[in-house]
Structure 1
Amino acid sequence: MELCELCQGISRRKWKIAPGRYEDEGEWIEHHESYSNLSKSVSEGCRLCTLLRHGLLDHMRGEANYTEAWHLERDAEQELKFWIVQDLTYPGDGAGIICDTALMNGLYYRRCFPPLTNTTVESLESSDETELNDAQNLGAFFQLRVPSDSSPKSLLSRSQGLRPSFADAWKWLHQCIAGHLECEKQTHDTPTRLLYIDSSRTEDRVRLVEPRSAIKCYAALSHCWGNFKPLCTTKENFEKHKEFFPLTELPRTFQDAVIVAKNLDIEYLWIDSLCIIQDCSEDWERECSRMAGVYSGALVTIAASDAEDSSKGFFHDYSTKFDSCEFPYWSDIEDGMIMTSMTYMPPNMENLAVEPPSRLSTRGWVLQERLLSQRVLSFGSNRLQWECSKFCCSDDMHYPYTSSRLSYNAVEKRPIGSLVDAPIAFQYWCDIVSTYSGCKLTKHTDKLPALSGLAQAFSEVLGDTYVAGLWRNDIHVGLTWYESNNDWRVLRDSVEGAPLPYRAPSWSWACSDYAIVFRSGTRNQHKDLIIVAVSVTLKGLDSFGELDHGTTLHVNGRMNKGVVVLDNPGVYLHVGSTLNDCNDTNTAIASLYFDSKQLARRLKQDSSLQEEVMTLLISYGNDASQKWVGLALEEIDVGDERKVFRRIGIVVCHERYKAGYRWFKDCKRQSLNII
């Protein structure tokens, strides 16, 4: 049996309002009356029922004490019906399977908005993009797809070939070059070195070149080094790499990048490990400072999204582990039957617009590569995706969609040259840093260098001074960073190892190893803290790169002293603290958010000890969520009369702390240094 009688009737049986359902919930068709009936249909060979049951079981595996027998027990206890639902508001756009019981979420087809009515189709066909929003997450997700060469009007999704299509990539690239003014290159600098691809012979070959004239058409590779050391250019083999060598001598990921460049009619390719002399610190630092020009100047950046290292390659067949079932489906837009396939998509694949986080997206260096690039062509395990400043495309979608659809904490890609409004640019930088801070770095001291290219690009637009990852004209907001995921159990059990090399001052987010966010509301408050000067000590030549000891913040402001009350770590997953008044230790003044390293130290101490903490006021206002915000500081003995402090956290007075509203009223200003 190909399809059971119920599945054959999906498109021709009469839709109705389900009993007990509201009219605006859509039209419904009854399906199997119980899970046991659904299983019986599976055993008799119905392909669609098999797919539905597979999705249901996979989706419910995360539930506590869940087994297949759980369904059968519910069958015996109550009437259990499966329904197929079609939304009345957006008819003809798809259907879903719902299990009619409060005990489980059931099966459903997630629809996309806007609905694909005739009006929407006309709009899509005359526009470059559409904004997609996902329906409410109700249960297991099934995606409906039509063949890639058929009309796309009924569904946004389309079937893919076995592997990524160069035809799609070529079309997207030339469409962008011809019609997207916002994607024009901001710079025409030529990299110091490029890999030249010679395709004139039977066997492709490559060599390293140092262009003497401008080369406007080259691609750049964004890849993960991983545990496998890629082929590198060193002082020893530099001259040898300038001679032609076979493509087969390159690791698989580099070979695939060359193949992509060739198919896009691009003769030059930039790869970091080959175009930078890796064992020459001067060359590495110089080229690192030019990173903004390399990626923004590339015609396209090729991203090996899911290749864990350079040996794996990225041009593979798509995964086929998710079965699909083809069946005829009635389309109101087509006014007839169309062939469609239903595919189960597990929870980590539910978003129609983007893939879940890839290996590449978790790496610190890669974020600036993506944001600096005018165009990015990403080769994922299940999707080929295009992203430029105008829109996104993928080989399983008929229509482009806007880059604001990028989710999974991925900061939106925007042309940096267009950020002429300073507050918007500063907030975009905060968003970038928040995303970047959750990424991984192999080398501890790369925290600032891995963002130096972006910092340079922002500097050219803002005309502002960059100080340890912060901007001088937005430094009050920059100082309010705090860690969003300091799990007390990890911190309590952490073992202190050997001291790490200096990376950044305590007041900079760059000293943290955790994901951070900023108190952006500070930007709209009265700035009480006076920044007298910032002394920055660079470790090398790159003014946006590594720092050395001595980077100091010189300020003048109001300080007050409070007593710390640490929340019970046995109750709260993320430990917070309360700052109480020194003169009345039962009066709460504000919330104190320790930096993780400082909290880890305190979790191992006697919690009965009352610790005094100095708070330096940054800004104040009437915002209920932040009456004022300040830095939590501890004094350091430097052997002279100077007042030198280090940051240990931030302090926020929320609306509920009425005793803290005027806490700094009688405090006198004083000058101090923070390192």
Structure 2
Amino acid sequence: MKVPSKRQSTQRHTLVTGMHLLGPSGPFVKILICYCGNRLGGVSSWSKVSVAGGGDEDTERTGYFRVYKTLTRDGRILRALIDDCTANHPDCKPREGLDLPSMLLHVSGASMSPTVRLVKASDIDVVPVRYVCLSYCWGNTQPNVTTTSRLDSYTAGIDTAEIPETILDAIRVAISMGYQYLWVDAFCIVQDSGPDKIAELGFLRQSYPEGREEQSIHTWHADIYDGTSQAAAAVLEIRSDFSYEDIFDSPIFERGWTFQEALLSPRLVMFFPHGQRPALRCSTHTIQSDGGLATAHPKPLVNLREVEQVVEREREKWGDYDDQSANAEEWVAIVKQYSQRSLTYEADKMPAVMGIVSEWETRFGQGTYWAGLWSATLTKDLIWKSRRDYSPRFAYESYVAPSWSWASRAHPVYYQDLGEINTFEGKSSFEVVSCEVIPAHEDLPNGAIKSAQLTVKCIAELVVLGGFESEYASCAVSSGSVRVQFDDSPRSRDIREAWLLYINDEEPYNNPHGIGIAVAEVDHTDADGPTLYKRVGCFVCEGRGLEGPRRTFTII
């Protein structure tokens, strides 16, 4: 074998996601392939090499090396695991009626030298259609994406030299696992066509370039060629530093778009950055390609079927278990995790959970979806709180969601234990008069929001907020006193008084007290319409809730 000159590169973290398999009866089986490494496929373990310092140096330099083997072996094993899961795991069955994308990449040939062309899904005469979807960090501007002018030439064939390495990795994985079709946004969406982007976002999601690139680990690569056929047989990787990390510890789990793709996928095929064997995660178990079982995976890698199983187990354990409360608990867990993720574009906040919302409506029935909250559990969903360890804290600079929604915030949020919050069933203390959410695109009702307003009727009291030094305010009210916790840090000096809207009661440690949100009048109230308010925080009463007449508030 011969080894050509070395080339320097950096560790990449990316994600291959959302493999959809169309079964004989029609439903899609969704699989997620997590790719957290520099190369995909089987790799040898890291070997340590020590080199004594030369000359007068009394030091010893340490390095590590390993060889990436071809993808064939792991691909066959992973495909066998997927087929076994599809055939024998009832908990991993998908929901029927999902749509196909408009275009796919047809991939064929050897994994190391593939042939790629763009095809219309409607022209594929193979039934069922099985294809892989790639979700990844674009990095800088992607070259050679599909445009109107390139569309015809790409249907004839795409030069692999024009395809970014991350996408080539996905092509190689798909071929090694025996799949012929791949969906990649950069190639399967006509990038200079607005209508095409909106249509494809309805199918899966819309990706945007992301500026962040992981560059913490530097490596050297050398392709190893077979001396007879001159084909690439393996890749040698040498690096000067190495640390053993948790196989699930990857920056990919910090990105906003990747969250729903894991949650919606019954199956994840995961590739890891430090030589561990690839693994399949489904609703039944997590198993590596060498047969080893991983006893657990982190919360960001669960799927909706696993969430359903949690509710089902609680129902079996407690005969009078309140499904609605259980559903609310799981939803706010989703909110807490998702709010910790980062997005390059704040306008993606609602579109990046649109797929979760559609599935949640079908599976859990929490009423109508209102900008990140649900009508059936609104008296709980409204009581979100800003994480105190983030400062400064503000809402997004541009409009993303109404102030009463957690999605309006550019920082993580959390909820108290919802089991301590009453449901107000049969009571008239809090009433939703109306709620109107206007989407930015009519075809995507659960996506980006143009405007929204919530009108409620409840007991309320006006209070003076006092000084601006603290993120809290203690205020006297007719029933005693309350403690207001503000969403923004530092507090806005323009807000000197607020209305406290009594929404619910909570009883931690059998100590009941009222809770609600604080709202302030906005300065652009329409003179011909109702007075408009925005949320500025939440509050807790020292004792029982507020007293007095009910008032009507329209919150934007």
The alignment's TM-score, normalised by the length of structure 2, stands at 0.70
SS of residue in 2 equivalent to 1:631: strand
| Residues 1:287 and 1:174: Cα distance change in structure 2 (over 3 Å) | same
* Aligned length, in residue pairs: 444
1:180, distance to aligned residue in structure 2 (A): 1.9
Alignment of 1:601-616 (within 5 A): 601-602=491-492, 605=493, 611-616=496-501
- The separation in 2 between residues aligned to 1:428 and 1:662, in whole angstroms, is 28
- Listed one character per residue, the Cα deviations across residues 199-258 of structure 1 (whole Å, up to 9, x for unaligned) are 289942111212226544211112112234364222332233222223332110110101
1:273, distance to aligned residue in structure 2 (A): 2.0
- The separation in 2 between residues aligned to 1:417 and 1:206, in whole angstroms, is 39
SS of residue in 2 equivalent to 1:199: strand
- The separation in 2 between residues aligned to 1:167 and 1:516, in whole angstroms, is 43
Letter in 1 for 2:387: S
SS of residue in 2 equivalent to 1:245: coil
In structure 2, the partner of 1:662 is 544
1:560, distance to aligned residue in structure 2 (A): 1.4
SS of residue in 2 equivalent to 1:285: helix
In structure 2, the partner of 1:55 is none
The reply to whether residue 445 of structure 1 matches residue 331 of structure 2 is: no
The reply to whether residue 389 of structure 1 matches residue 283 of structure 2 is: yes
The reply to whether residue 646 of structure 1 matches residue 534 of structure 2 is: yes
Letter in 1 for 2:95: Q
In structure 2, the partner of 1:632 is 518
1:287, distance to aligned residue in structure 2 (A): 1.6
- Listed one character per residue, the Cα deviations across residues 506-532 of structure 1 (whole Å, up to 9, x for unaligned) are 111111110111234277404332112
In structure 1, the partner of 2:407 is 510
In structure 1, the partner of 2:18 is none
The answer to which structure has the higher strand fraction is: 2
Name which of 463, 466, 472 aligns with 1:562: 463
SS of residue in 2 equivalent to 1:620: strand
Name which of 109, 118, 130 aligns with 1:199: 109
Structure scoring higher RCO (CA < 8 A, sep ≥ 6) equals 2
Are the aligned partners of 1:231 and 1:251 in contact in 2 as well (CA < 8 Å)? Answer: no
- Listed one character per residue, the Cα deviations across residues 613-671 of structure 1 (whole Å, up to 9, x for unaligned) are 21101101432477222011001333246232110111123xxxxxx313513x11111
Structure 1 unaligned blocks of 5 or more: 1-146, 149-159, 295-304, 324-343, 569-574, 654-659
In structure 2, the partner of 1:484 is 387
The reply to whether residue 471 of structure 1 matches residue 349 of structure 2 is: no
- The separation in 2 between residues aligned to 1:626 and 1:320, in whole angstroms, is 59
The reply to whether residue 183 of structure 1 matches residue 92 of structure 2 is: yes
Letter in 2 for 1:581: A
| Residues 1:576 and 1:243: Cα distance change in structure 2 (over 3 Å) | same
Are the aligned partners of 2:325 and 2:419 in contact in 1 as well (CA < 8 Å)? Answer: no
The reply to whether residue 580 of structure 1 matches residue 493 of structure 2 is: no
Letter in 2 for 1:645: Y
| Residues 1:173 and 1:167: Cα distance change in structure 2 (over 3 Å) | same
- The separation in 2 between residues aligned to 1:478 and 1:505, in whole angstroms, is 14
Alignment of 1:457-468 (within 5 A): 457-463=359-365, 464-468=367-371
Letter in 2 for 1:537: I
- The separation in 1 between residues aligned to 2:169 and 2:194, in whole angstroms, is 29
The reply to whether residue 538 of structure 1 matches residue 420 of structure 2 is: no
Are the aligned partners of 2:256 and 2:342 in contact in 1 as well (CA < 8 Å)? Answer: yes
| Residues 1:577 and 1:473: Cα distance change in structure 2 (over 3 Å) | same
1:536, distance to aligned residue in structure 2 (A): 1.3
Are the aligned partners of 1:618 and 1:631 in contact in 2 as well (CA < 8 Å)? Answer: yes
Letter in 2 for 1:413: N
Are the aligned partners of 2:105 and 2:119 in contact in 1 as well (CA < 8 Å)? Answer: yes
| Residues 1:375 and 1:202: Cα distance change in structure 2 (over 3 Å) | closer
| Residues 1:668 and 1:257: Cα distance change in structure 2 (over 3 Å) | same
SS of residue in 2 equivalent to 1:649: strand
- Listed one character per residue, the Cα deviations across residues 453-484 of structure 1 (whole Å, up to 9, x for unaligned) are 11111122234321111111122222111221
After superposition, the CA RMSD in angstroms is: 3.7
| Residues 1:622 and 1:380: Cα distance change in structure 2 (over 3 Å) | same
Letter in 2 for 1:474: T
- The separation in 1 between residues aligned to 2:376 and 2:200, in whole angstroms, is 28
Are the aligned partners of 1:362 and 1:439 in contact in 2 as well (CA < 8 Å)? Answer: yes
- The separation in 1 between residues aligned to 2:82 and 2:354, in whole angstroms, is 27
1:417, distance to aligned residue in structure 2 (A): 7.1
In structure 2, the partner of 1:279 is 192
SS of residue in 1 equivalent to 2:520: strand
SS of residue in 1 equivalent to 2:521: strand
The alignment's TM-score, normalised by the length of structure 1, stands at 0.59
SS of residue in 1 equivalent to 2:500: strand
SS of residue in 1 equivalent to 2:148: coil
Bigger CA radius of gyration = 1
SS of residue in 2 equivalent to 1:507: coil
